[in-house]
Amino acid sequence: MQPKLAPPPPPVKAGPANASRPKKQKKQEPAPGKTETRPSAPAEGDSGIMETIEFERRLDSLRNQTSAAAASKQILLAVASVAIGAIFILTSVDFGGGSPSGPSTSSSAGRPEQTLTGPERSALEAALEQQQVTLSSNPQDVKALEAAATIAGRLGDFRAAAASATTLTEQNPGDPAAWQLLGECQEELGDGQAAEASYVRGWEAGGRTDLLVLGRLTTLLSKQGRHEQALERIDSAPLSVLSSLDAQLARGRVLASWPGHSLDAKHLYDGLIEAHPDDARPMLAKGLLLRQQGRGVDADRAFLQARALVPPEQRAGLDAVIGR
């Protein structure tokens, strides 16, 4: 069945890749009765890289609250480092085809708990214990719930993580990040149906603008061979989101993973490269697609061009996506 492809949006000149995300501003507590919102951001790609970036993003937000975790600089990445990696999330994708996902969307080699050193594990366990002490006196503490779920997931205890994330969504049902966190835990536990429901709740809670949640949802649908539904989810976004480079890269990711539609993905990437010549992500996405097709020389050429478009401090994030 041929997909219903929306025509690419009118070209919008993008700034440099490192300007694609707003500068970090001082975080303010939400007013009573209101849920905290987060800006739209690039969606996820390769599961192992995404797990790490998402975990570090959350854990970094807790660094001033969790002294035990903050003691280990090897665990807590600087905010700038997280932003650099997130720039390339949309283009980092497993082009494995349309077979349904198994019990986990992550390879065992990329599981976060298997990458921990002894000191890192000890620091995380101490941080988790501190959050559990907080929750013992206040079981509804939203920040402690998010910390407990995130750290437990990093340690590989996804059942404990899911339990904390479930309570988090009950306390803060309007927060897309809470639903995304729960969905990630459910994916790791092999419950794709529950994970999909959580991502849909997060997508709706964010007013269909949160591209991190959209990325998780469309990647799950693609891994299950439901590519057309993934495109429909992207098309359900408001026009202001749908016309963005991030959303179009998400569309390209779905097409690239859909057997028989790699040419559609290539045409889309070529158009985005022409419309956004100063942004490295379309060129990076094209390189990943070319490599999946066995065109190693062409892929390396695209990677070099993408690398030339980013400042030196961002190249580590790009190289992580490429797999160097």
pLDDT on residue 317? 80
Give the DSSP per-residue string, 45-103. Answer: -SHHHHHHHHHHHHHHHTTTT-HHHHT-TTTS--HHHHHHHHHTGGG------SPPP-S
Confidence band, pLDDT 50/70/90 cuts, at residue 113: low
Q: Is the pTM of this model over 0.85?
A: no
- Going by C-alpha positions, the residue among 243, 306, 311 that lies closest to residue 91 is 306
| Per-residue model confidence as pLDDT tens digits over 138-192 | 999 999 999 999 999 989 999 999 999 999 999 999 999 999 999 999 999 999 9
pLDDT on residue 94? 44
Q: What share of the chain is helix, strand, coil (3-state, %, to 5)?
A: 65, 0, 35
**Would you give the end-to-end CA distance of the chain in angstroms?**
37
Confidence band, pLDDT 50/70/90 cuts, at residue 64: very low
Q: Is the pLDDT of residue 96 over 50?
A: no
Domain ranges of the chain: 37-94+114-322
CA–CA distance, 23 with 254 (Å, rounded to integer): 29
pLDDT on residue 323? 78
- Going by C-alpha positions, the residue among 154, 155, 156, 152 that lies closest to residue 166 is 152
Fold of 37-94+114-322: 1.25.40
Could you say which DSSP state residue 139 is in? T
pLDDT on residue 112? 52
Name the residue with higher pLDDT: 40 or 160: 160
pLDDT on residue 117? 85
Confidence band, pLDDT 50/70/90 cuts, at residue 106: very low
pLDDT on residue 114? 55
